[in-house]
Structure 1
Amino acid sequence: MTCYSLDGLIPVVDPSAYVHPSAVLIGDVIVGPHCYVGPLASLRGDFGRIVLEEGANLQDTCVMHGFPDSDTVVERNGHVGHGAVLHGCRIGADALVGMNAVVMDNAFIAPRSFVSAAALVKAGFECAPQSLVMGTPARVTRQLSDEEVAWKLAGTREYQHLTRRCLEQMQVCEPLSRVEDDRPRIADGGFRPKAGQ
């Protein structure tokens, strides 16, 4: 990872977390235990504080940033899809933010809620726990079932497992020039996307 101190504040990464070498951490950033930070993610603690709590994941090309004196937080087991932007907001425990969604300042995505892909959550938005949030601008469309929340938790556990795999096995290498005969496949963890999610 590329890590910069700023104004005397050095990013903190728990030893059990995995932060991809291409991710950038600046200043007041705290990455908690068992977190996963994907390739090209940017965590900019140059104004406010950036926090990933235990078991959270922030996938490829995500951005976390905020205004001065703000906290941008992904709580325990929060799940943030590829390309999402979080700015001065709080993502509740066990919540999911879909790919390319934007969550703006002082918004609060309650625990166990889902923000759909490409949604725009306006500043100051709040929802009840276990809400499905969709649209531009985003609004609550319905409550989620316990089955849907359990499905999300299974996906988050896959990222927690990926954290351990990356810490143990990922290494820089040169590419092969051709595909090997009987090339093996990466082991199937059993998680499947749900239709319409």
Structure 2
Amino acid sequence: MSPDLILPHGDILPVFASRPVWCGRRSTVIGQARIGAQAWLGDDSVIRADGQEVILGDRFWLGHRSTVHIATLDLGTRVGDRVSVGRNAVVHACTVGSDVVIEDEAVILDGATVGDRIVLEAGATVFPRASLPSGFVYAGTPARPVRPISLDEVTDRAERLREAAGEGGAEAPSDPLEVEESVFVARTASLRGRILLGENATVLFSCALDAEVGPIVVGARSNIQDNTVIRTRGEGVVIGRETTIAHNVRMADCRIGARSLIGIGCTLAPGTVVADDVMVAAGATTDPGQLLEGGHLWGGRPARIIGALDDGKRALMARIVDGYVSHGRDFRALQDGLS
């Protein structure tokens, strides 16, 4: 058994130590990934090593709609043995030890180090460059130690997480969608209804865009990253040009301006309006109808202003947009080569 989609990056294909125990529907592995023995990859899971290495130890379990990625320019991801990741979680450009449980909706961010014998509870966020010492349960945003934990309890939590995984959510087949030559839509993405993708837009692996009620409009040079889910139940969703929607975002019936970034694992409630030139920190949420004014970094649950959108952050956001335009071009050529 192998993932539904395997693609190289820079002519480098993923390497598996042995045949995976399971690979779910629309599972994707890309690039410089080395995956240990007895791996289990859930439905719509994504391992993307397109610029740096991803090294995953033996008995790695990746839950449905979860994502493992790198920071393209400078940080890979390294994970030890016997690590279990729940549903809709993100492991991003970080180091994770052995005997670790990362529960549903949890996020580990760039440069973080997670020790051995750890449980990261559901919905927790490990901030960039944070260090989590071994032997504790961690919870919250940012993740903080709750209590010590034994190896036996870690093993028990891992077994319970796997037992609760069940079947992944089956997405209906995509509707036929005409896009111009510069647009990339991953083969494992599901797009339904009235969707308009601007020039050089990118919709990555295992995204689900459901526009059967209201439309979804994505501006030129904008990117929607792996496992993001956008659903319309009323007025629809509009995303401005040169905007990044990061991994595993959830949103419905909202407006997002130009040159903005919605961080990993965010949830935008219906009626949210994000102005131009906004950065929303990973794991943030919004209240229904909330307005996020331009020129600021927003974060928290619900989101609040936590800083100015300075020149450094603006430059970072522009680099991400440029990088994903390039990724989209490369991925489209590789995907077209499979047909």
TM-score tier by shorter-chain length is 0.7 to 0.9
Work out the CA distance in 1 between the residues paired with 2:63 and 2:124: 17
Which residue, out of 125, 128, 132, partners 2:133? 128
> 1:117 and 1:5, CA in 2 relative to 1: closer, same or farther beyond 3 A?
same
**Amino acid across the alignment from 2:8:** S
In the other structure, the counterpart of 1:91 is 96
Structure whose CA Rg is larger: 2
In the alignment, does 2:184 pair up with 1:149?
no
Work out the CA distance in 1 between the residues paired with 2:15 and 2:152: 35
Aligned-partner SS, 2:156: helix
In the other structure, the counterpart of 1:24 is 28
Aligned-partner SS, 1:152: helix
How many residue pairs get aligned? The number is 159
C-alpha deviation, 1:156, in angstroms: 7.8
> 1:97 and 1:142, CA in 2 relative to 1: closer, same or farther beyond 3 A?
same
In the other structure, the counterpart of 1:51 is 55
In the other structure, the counterpart of 2:18 is 15
Deviates more, 1:77-86 or 1:136-145: 136-145
Question: For 1:94-145, what per-residue CA distance to the aligned partner results, in whole angstroms no more than 9, with x for missing partners?
Answer: 0110101010011111111010101111011112211111101111122113
C-alpha contact 2:9 2:51 (8 A) present in aligned 1: no
In the alignment, does 2:6 pair up with 1:3?
yes
What is the aligned-residue RMSD (CA, Å)?
A: 2.0
Q: Which runs of 5+ in 1 are unaligned?
A: 160-197
Greater RCO, 1 or 2 (C-alpha within 8 Å, sep 6+): 1
Deviates more, 1:40-49 or 1:9-18: 9-18
> 1:150 and 1:42, CA in 2 relative to 1: closer, same or farther beyond 3 A?
closer
Work out the CA distance in 2 between the residues paired with 1:153 and 1:118: 16
In the other structure, the counterpart of 1:37 is 41
**Amino acid across the alignment from 1:80:** V
> 1:147 and 1:43, CA in 2 relative to 1: closer, same or farther beyond 3 A?
closer
In the alignment, does 2:112 pair up with 1:114?
no
Q: Which runs of 5+ in 2 are unaligned?
A: 165-339
In the alignment, does 2:87 pair up with 1:66?
no
In the alignment, does 2:116 pair up with 1:75?
no
Deviates more, 1:64-73 or 1:148-157: 148-157
Deviates more, 1:93-102 or 1:7-16: 7-16
C-alpha deviation, 1:50, in angstroms: 1.5
Q: Identity of aligned pairs, percent? A: 26
Aligned-partner SS, 1:64: strand
In the other structure, the counterpart of 1:164 is none
TM-score by length of 1: 0.74
Work out the CA distance in 1 between the residues paired with 2:118 and 2:135: 4
Aligned-partner SS, 1:151: helix
TM-score by length of 2: 0.44
C-alpha contact 1:77 1:156 (8 A) present in aligned 2: no
Aligned-partner SS, 2:131: coil
**Amino acid across the alignment from 2:7:** Y
C-alpha deviation, 1:157, in angstroms: 8.5
> 1:157 and 1:81, CA in 2 relative to 1: closer, same or farther beyond 3 A?
closer
